[in-house]
Chain A
Amino acid sequence: MDLQDKLALLTSAAKYDVACTSSGVDRSAQGGALGDAQSCGICHSFSADGRCIALLKILMTNECVYDCQYCVNRASNEDAVRTTLTPQELAELTIEFYRRNYIEGLFLSSGVIKCPDYAMERMCMAISLLRNEYRFRGYIHAKAIPGASSESIDRMALLADRMSVNIELPSQEGLKLLAPDKHKHSILEPMKHIRDGIKENKSDLVKYRSAPKFSPAGQATQMIIGATPDTDFQVLRLTSSLYRSFELKRVFFSAYVPVSTSELLPRNNAVPFLREHRLYQADWLLRFYQFDVNEIINESDPYLDPYLDPKCNWAMNNLDRFPLEVNKAEYEMLLRVPGIGVTGARRIVRARRTQNLTFEHLKKLRIVLKRAQYFITCGGTFAADTPFAHDAIYEKLTTDSSKQRGFREVMQARSAFEQLALFDDTAMLPHREDVQKSLTGQL
């Protein structure tokens, strides 16, 4: 197979991987060596689906001895054409793409060729070529394989900027069913090992600055949403504990796109994009807005509201804490106003030191009032054209037509579950009265 075909094949096989950021590490350029890495990250292109392309995202091989039901590369998929890149081919592709400013670096994962450590070894060979032979200083994100030994993880972490181990599915039952070769243990052990490596490395770096860096941009993970009946509550609780106990930099969610004809999976073509979107919004609240997972979601109502983003939703459930006087409110509360972000909240705090803020000032500070107006006052004035009352505000916030569109997606995703013969316990599915209502156009 020529390189062109290999590239196309191994790219398609990697495309569902969501993590394509190149951020988190600053490595300045050095005379005589190719490349640098900037912590803000640079996108280089956008694919037809509108996603950013920053890295050469590719599999080392799509030969795999594992049999994950949701994956095109699974061992039991007899239709798959198999191919493997040599470390040399991979390094050359990366370098030549980089020299032409197509990419920021490499995002390498791999099918499990022979066994986890063998696959890891081949990946390391490629990355080591890049770092040592080509003296490449661009970004490298490498994906460790569940079940890999700590030795091979150490080796990879010293070469890559960021490591990740995919958690894949939000529950152990899901794993057992859909990814029988992967176990909680074989995923969490490498994660723990990377976490400890990073920690140890930090204290080494304090002692001797020249200590080699161990996965300096931290570690991330990814889980598939919508292939199993796990609820948003389960997903978010897991996410939050991953941030806390594994000190992950990012948790990525990937709406399940049906690529497999496996009997065990939803057969509907609907992809739960809105759900994925809401989960990302909730994830932001966890990471940047000092929310606790229990404030966002609870077990008795285990799905995020399709109509309202999680921040609005929290505000609506806590209306007694609003409206907030912008000139007096604490920074932490400003952060909780729908529509006011971290930058906005900081700007407000800074600007109000010198003057009493009016709505005019807020506009100048580029605070978007579209949603915020229902939750704040400026010098005692409430500026929205509705009374400050739950139903009135809810109505305003949900009449946006995009919400309606998003809603259809949720319904499609839901029916995907319902077709999932294996889990016919529909009690697990979101049941909301307003869901019914909106279908008949009453909302």
Chain B
Amino acid sequence: MTPDGTNDSSTVVYFYDGTLEGFFSAVFDAYTGKDRPDIITVSENYQSRIDQIIHHVQTREDKYERVYDGIIKHIGPVGYHKVRTVFLSPSPDKDTILFRYLEYGFKVGKKIHVDISHELVNPVERLKKETWFEMHRMKMFARFAQMDNGVYFSKINPKCNVLPLVMEHFARRFNVQPFVIYDENHRILGLYDMKSWYLQYVDDDFEVPDCAEDDLRYQRLWKSFYDSIAIEERVNHDLRRNFMPKRFWSNLTEMSFIDPKDTIGHLGLSDSSSGSVVAHDELLPPEQRALPEQDASLF
């Protein structure tokens, strides 16, 4: 049977609600008498066919805990962390891939972490790497601006749904300041109130709040630092883009204003959606505005 179930008349498909609890409940069902799923997926992403056997998974805390314990026991906290990371991947096959990985892990135990070229393990390792990297980029590129009420606000646009992991990181590091991170791609807010953090979906009319007047001072200082630190003789735009892909620029304070020639599409973006968190160069007197960047031909 193929993973996408295209050539078989009795494909078993599990639908669940898209939460980690729901996914673990699906794994639980698979191990407690239900038909083994060929596909596990979130119902809204999937067009089922008449000849498929459909099972709707009920999300329950106790199922989640049983599977959680099983994972810790068989493949350890490392394994749990992997599963959790891959679960945040945007890949539509990730649930099925994870299920097979877990099946295999329950059989072979911790050896699964060494066996990275195995066909059931490799896809998980690959997705883990991708997701981990996207999470790491958020740790690098998230920029906060303080609002009038003292809360720090950041807007990010990750490909993967990594906000939970990102919140964990910042809740430790910035435990002395309340902050909000808005994932504009997945339309989720992460809120930290100096005690704990939680997630919340945003309404359609959510607007990015303005930052405090005082914050502009630090944005300007940062921009000025950023411009001063580059060595002209070494200007290398390709290299920079490699490390810091353009899709992040609209949310980067230091990149929000650069030579329009360089970034027509980008400026459109920051005008419409980034509000006051970025792009304040136009407020500066002309002599303080960012200079057009050095031509790469200098090099």
- Listed in ascending order, the chain A residues whose CB lies under 8 Å from chain B are 3-4, 7-9, 11-12, 14-16, 28-29, 31-36, 42-53, 56-58, 93, 96-97, 99-102, 257, 269, 271, 273, 347, 350-351, 361, 364-365
Contact = CB atoms under 8 A, between A and B. Distances in A.
A44 B141 contact: yes
A272 to B, nearest CB: 11
A34 B227 CA distance: 27
A124 B177 CA distance: 26
A269 B233 contact: yes
Given A8-B224, A49-B232, 9 more contacts: A4-B220, A4-B288, A15-B230, A15-B231, A29-B173, A49-B230, A97-B218, A97-B225, A101-B142
Contacts of B133: none
Contact of A50 (B141, B173, B243): B243
Interface in B27-50: none
B114 A29 contact: no
A309 B211 CA distance: 50
Interface in B142-159: 142-146, 152, 154
Interface stretch (B16-24, B87-95, B97-105, B234-242): B234-242
Contact of B172 (A28, A96, A347): A28
Nearest to B252: A45
A49 B144 contact: no
Given A46-B243, A50-B240, A7 B229 contact: no
Nearest to B222: A102
B202 interface: no
A109 to B, nearest CB: 14
A9 B226 CA distance: 12
Contacts of A11: 224-225, 228-229
A46 B244 contact: yes
B114 A49 contact: no
A31 B222 contact: no
Contacts of B10: none
Given A350-B114, A361-B117, A102 B143 contact: yes
Nearest to B111: A354
Given A36-B173, A99-B152, A101-B154, A45 B226 contact: yes
12 contacts: A4-B288, A11-B224, A14-B229, A15-B230, A29-B172, A29-B175, A42-B136, A44-B141, A45-B141, A48-B235, A271-B234, A365-B116
B264 interface: no
A372 to B, nearest CB: 17
A326 B229 CA distance: 45
Contact of A3 (B117, B172, B221, B237): B221
Given A7-B224, A29-B173, A100-B152, A49 B288 contact: no
A15 B233 contact: no
Given A15-B231, A45-B244, A50-B242, A93 B117 contact: no
Given A8-B224, A51-B234, A42 B139 contact: yes
Given A101-B143, A102-B253, A49 B221 contact: no
Interface in B104-121: 114, 116-117
Contacts of B117: 351, 361, 364-365
Given A46-B243, A100-B218, A15 B294 contact: no
A29 B227 CA distance: 31
Given A12-B228, A351-B117, A43 B222 contact: no
A99 B150 CA distance: 12
List the 4 shortest-distance A-B pairs measured between CB atoms, nearest first: A50-B239, A49-B234, A29-B172, A11-B228
Contacts of A347: 116
A45 B222 CA distance: 11
A79 B143 CA distance: 37
B228 A8 contact: yes
A96 B143 CA distance: 12
Contacts of A49: 230-232, 234-236, 239-240
A100 B229 contact: no
B193 interface: no
A45 B154 contact: no
Contacts of B174: 34-35, 99
Contacts of A100: 143-146, 152, 218, 222, 253
Contacts of B116: 347, 365
Contact of B228 (A15, A36, A42, A99): A15
A49 B242 CA distance: 12
Contacts of B152: 99-100
A7 B172 contact: no
Contacts of A35: 173-174
A101 B175 CA distance: 13
B176 A32 contact: yes
Contacts of B230: 15, 47-49, 51
Contacts of B177: 34, 99
